[in-house]
Amino acid sequence: MSYANLLYHIVFGTKGRFPFISGELKPRLHEYLGGTVRGLDGVAFEINGMSDHVHLLVKLKTTHRLDYFLRNLKANSSKWAKNNTNGKFGWQRRYGAFTVSESQFQVVRNYIRNQEKHHQKFDFRYEFEMLLKANEILIDDYVWQD
């Protein structure tokens, strides 16, 4: 038997950063994302975001391939959201996925919970670029292309 604690802070935006996630769609989409994570055999600890992006704190198994997991999560939730917004929804192709140590679990969880507070000071672009820099990931010309 192997022992692993694979925690991820996952972030992705809407296509074109359009404010698709608003009003009553937001809690329903977050609930759907949580159910999809469970359906993909993961655990969703926290989901929140703004009208143009979402953050998830999830635990995955060693058998998960992160790229397949995210492809399925985004495809399923995009299809659901399109059905609930008359086809006016899409996710950007790219995403951020950052490993989280157990010692930082509550810090990341609180960060995700307090999205509204953070975004009084800065927008998604600034936030995402700061996450990339904090994780020593080079920001290339493709980061904002859909």
Q: What is the pLDDT along the chain (146 residues), one digit of tens a residue?
A: 678 999 999 999 999 999 999 889 999 999 999 999 999 999 999 999 999 999 999 999 999 999 999 999 999 999 999 999 988 899 999 999 999 999 999 999 999 999 988 888 888 988 998 999 999 888 876 666 66
In order of their start, the domains of the chain are 6-134 (3.30.70.1290)
Q: How many CB atoms lie within 10 A of CB 23?
A: 8
Give the span between the Cα atoms of 48 and 113, in whole angstroms: 6
Q: How many CB atoms lie within 10 A of CB 139?
A: 11
- Give pLDDT, residue 116: 87
Instruction: Find, among 121, 5, 114, the residue nearest to 55 by Cα.
Output: 114
Instruction: Encode 86-123: b = buried (16+ Cβ within 10 Å), e = exposed.
Output: eeebbbbeebbbeebeeeebeebbebbeebeebbeeee
Element (H, E) at 117: helix 115-118
- pTM, to two decimals: 0.92
- Give pLDDT, residue 119: 87
- Give pLDDT, residue 58: 98
